[in-house]
Chain A
């Protein structure tokens, strides 16, 4: 299996796992066990568009109960003899191997997945940012031997890219270090936010310079947050920004001189 595998380095390790929960796109070769006319294939493939029931395969990493998954797009790119080339856009956690198998059952001849390539996971796509291990190695070599990092900067992307698909909140400089220490985000610290913030959903929290501070779980949606002048807006779940990068603005017993 090849294709898009986002990898987070050092500090980015904390948030890279979050893309697991985002939409996926695959290109797959399905091998049928007998020849079937092309029209029949297209007809059956279209049955899989929309919500499907899927039981995870025997060899899987999740509980094997039937789950509802959505196939947003499914398209026959090509077909020849017993082979079908498919493009599938689907929910995370949809098993392509199972999809190929179920397609075989519906066609009545049996089928299995022959090859698979992931072409998208959330914000990561098969575009010019997709790099091979060899390209990474070359970029590192050039930087280490010549000190030039322009190639390295094209192969390694800022951590913020892995949060591009999420609803966003920008916070004031005065709120940054408190969040870096793990505090929840309160309304007075919010400078701006996107319209798609939803309660109980993941939200990415950035400085006004666009640096990722943390991931959080929103407590309220955008409409409610706009009207708030106090109270918690999001619970901080994953902190990326190290402590002490921004100055400390919150009051402690020491700084206010009280007991």
Chain B
């Protein structure tokens, strides 16, 4: 199997897994050189981390921002970011953090 075929197979696999489909139109048939670049699942461990994403199950207590700061420290990377804030926890009257502490993280979506 050529490198291009493997690359396309990888993209189709992650796309299918996410519930979507790639409907390709091929314009040029050229293959890709093995002299540079790497199949995404064959990156060296350090590169795998630096080009890595985590599907994290956020715990209920901390803010999304706090969780990202912890992960940044755990992996010892210079930056990290998240896609879409989840507010820290539900608020039952008189229980939990006062609303003022939520800052800008109270968006649910």
Q: Which residues of A contact B71 (CB under 8 A)?
A: 7, 9, 133, 136
Please tell me if the beta carbons of A209 and B20 are within 8 angstroms of each other in the complex. Answer: no
In whole angstroms, what is the CA distance A246 to B28 when docked?
A: 19
Please tell me if the beta carbons of B28 and A158 are within 8 angstroms of each other in the complex. Answer: no
Contact A152/B45 with A190-B27, A196-B23, A207-B37 known, Cβ cut-off 8 Å: yes
Size bracket, chain B contacts: 35 or more
In whole angstroms, what is the CA distance A164 to B12 when docked?
A: 9
Chain A, residues 27-65, CB within 8 Å of chain B (1/0): the string is 000000000000000000000000000000101111000
Total interface residues in chain A, CB < 8 Å = 88
Interface of chain A: mostly helix, strand, loop or mixed: mixed
Contact A193/B24 with A158-B51, A173-B33, A246-B37 known, Cβ cut-off 8 Å: yes
Chain A, residues 186-213, CB within 8 Å of chain B (1/0): the string is 0000111111100000000011111110
Does A19 touch B at the CB level, under 8 Å? yes
In whole angstroms, what is the CA distance A248 to B78 when docked?
A: 28
Please tell me if the beta carbons of A207 and B32 are within 8 angstroms of each other in the complex. Answer: yes
Does A66 touch B at the CB level, under 8 Å? no
Cross-chain contact of B70 among A8, A92, A133, A190 (Cβ < 8 A): A133
Shortest B84–chain A CB gap in Å is 5
Please tell me if the beta carbons of A116 and B40 are within 8 angstroms of each other in the complex. Answer: no
- Which of A4, A10, A94, A137 has the most chain B CB within a 10 Å cutoff? A10
Q: Which of B78-92 contact A (CB under 8 A)?
A: 78-90, 92
Please tell me if the beta carbons of B83 and A1 are within 8 angstroms of each other in the complex. Answer: no
In whole angstroms, what is the CA distance A115 to B4 when docked?
A: 46
Q: Which residues of B contact A137 (CB under 8 A)?
A: 74
Please tell me if the beta carbons of A209 and B37 are within 8 angstroms of each other in the complex. Answer: yes
List residues of A whose CB falls within 8 A of some B CB.
1-13, 16-20, 24, 57, 59-62, 92-97, 113-116, 118, 121-125, 127, 129-133, 136-137, 140, 143, 149, 152-153, 155-162, 164-165, 168, 170, 172-173, 176, 190-196, 206-212, 222, 226, 240, 245-247
